[in-house]
Amino acid sequence: MIEVAEQLLPLAVDKALELVVRKVEKGERLKPEDLAVLTIAVVRDMSRRIDETNKRIDLLADSLNARITELDERLNRRIAELDERLNRRIDLLDEKLSKRIDETNKRIDALADSLNARITELDERLNRRIDAVYQLLGDVQRSIADVQKAFLEMSKILADVQQSITDLRRALGK
């Protein structure tokens, strides 16, 4: 029943509006009912315009949403591309840096090996020299001991000689 009323109401308003328009064309005076019909017609026209404007707004909103979605997708693709390029560059730089670090470590290892070899050689040479010095000191100590023995023997001989001289003096003095 409400659907039938909604369909008949616009027809009734249109017929009533035609009658009011004829009265205006004839120059007749409008009654309050006629003014009410005009008001209803104006409100209906404004409502229709508002509905059309709302439809246009909805179409614009849908169009803008579609454009925003497209722009968002393009930006996401571009960001993904830039992210991929940046990751590739970072990986490349990481690879180059790792190679340089490996080369530097190899050079450091080679230098350390060389220095260790030189230190070992110097240590061996120094140990040989120290051993030679100790050998020489041992030889000198043996020589000093031999000289001391010789001095001791000479001291004994000298003491014996002095004793003999003293004995001879005593014997001669008597």
Q: Which of 22, 48, 58 is nearest to 37 (CA)?
A: 22
Mean pLDDT of 157-171: 89
The answer to whether 16 and 37 have CB atoms below 8 angstroms apart is yes
Mean pLDDT of 148-154: 91
Mean pLDDT of 130-154: 93
Position 172 confidence tier, pLDDT thresholds 50, 70, 90: confident
Total domain count for the chain? 1
Position 169 confidence tier, pLDDT thresholds 50, 70, 90: confident
Is residue 112 assigned to a domain?
Answer: yes
Dist CA 97 CA 101 (whole Å): 6
pTM of the entire structure?
0.45
Is residue 11 assigned to a domain?
Answer: no
Count other Cβ atoms within 10 Å, centred on residue 79. Answer: 10
Is residue 123 assigned to a domain?
Answer: yes
Is residue 160 assigned to a domain?
Answer: yes
Domain that holds residue 97: 31-173
